[in-house]
A = this chain, B = another copy of it.
């Protein structure tokens, strides 16, 4: 999986950072998923190397404008491009009303299937938001001024790497039989031989996991959701010194994000959703926030727009 940050500012855009959006590329299925969609996200796609035509699912954490005001424009542009097979949208209860109101008053016709899924019940019951052959998605309620949800994407363990050279050397004719063998199943060839797929595959490859957690003050539910994840993307609106403000506004400090990563035992933490006050030239900068977090959780980096990270094995 490949994670690309398209917006890393909180509240308002700056010249360097747009408001929230994170793209998740799933190369093995040629799909792009999006987490949040602040105003200007479609513009950020234009400036990235991501193909917006691959977009299939959008997960919305909460309804604040800096996380959703880019949705109508992105969905309308996908319609004008004419190549969208359909979009599944996941989010808080008001998401459907919001979009229906905007589309009605602006006479916007989408022209492709747009399905909106409410995640409140899945968060409350701990059931899966999505479960298909390759991937599960679950969510949990965070602690913010409005209902907000963190999402966790888990890739299922995959069969080991298929040794195509060895299969050829065994004289197995190429064709659909290769897919069976790749999946680790046994196959009887036309000549009567029984080939065990497992014998042609390397050891099973564990799936990887990404957790997206914004907006929230420190949350035990976020710790539980992020348990053992490869990558935790966590909001860090404020520096440690602004803890009082963070609590008042139900946002996180750098150290709350680090504490979440530490308690959850994740492999890597990325700080995002930074207040515009943290820029070079001001008393505190993004580098200072990273330093504060690293004192608690060393494997921390700070996001910037268009930062791209690979998670897990490729392919």
Contacts and interface: CB of A to CB of B under 8 A. Distances in A.
A145 B18 CA distance: 33
A114 interface: no
B107 A102 contact: no
A86 B181 CA distance: 68
Interface string A29-68: 0000000000110110011000000000000000111101
A196 to B, nearest CB: 52
B43 A106 contact: no
Interface residues of A, number: 38
Interface in A129-152: 145-146
A63 B103 CA distance: 10
B15 A63 contact: no
Contacts of A81: 12
Nearest to A63: B106
A105 B64 CA distance: 9
Given A11-B80, A13-B42, A97-B101, 17 more contacts: A11-B77, A12-B42, A13-B43, A13-B77, A15-B46, A15-B47, A39-B72, A40-B43, A43-B43, A65-B106, A66-B76, A69-B69, A69-B102, A94-B106, A95-B105, A101-B101, A101-B102
30 contacts: A11-B77, A12-B42, A12-B77, A12-B80, A13-B43, A14-B46, A15-B46, A15-B47, A39-B39, A39-B42, A39-B43, A39-B72, A40-B40, A40-B43, A64-B106, A64-B107, A64-B108, A65-B102, A65-B108, A66-B76, A69-B106, A94-B105, A94-B106, A97-B101, A97-B105, A98-B101, A98-B105, A98-B106, A102-B102, A107-B146
Interface of A: 11-15, 18-19, 39-40, 42-43, 46-47, 63-66, 68-70, 72-73, 76-77, 80-81, 94-95, 97-98, 101-102, 105-108, 145-146
In the A-B complex, the 10 residue pairs with the smallest Cβ-Cβ separation, listed nearest first, are A101-B101, A98-B105, A39-B73, A94-B105, A69-B73, A12-B77, A40-B40, A65-B76, A65-B106, A63-B106
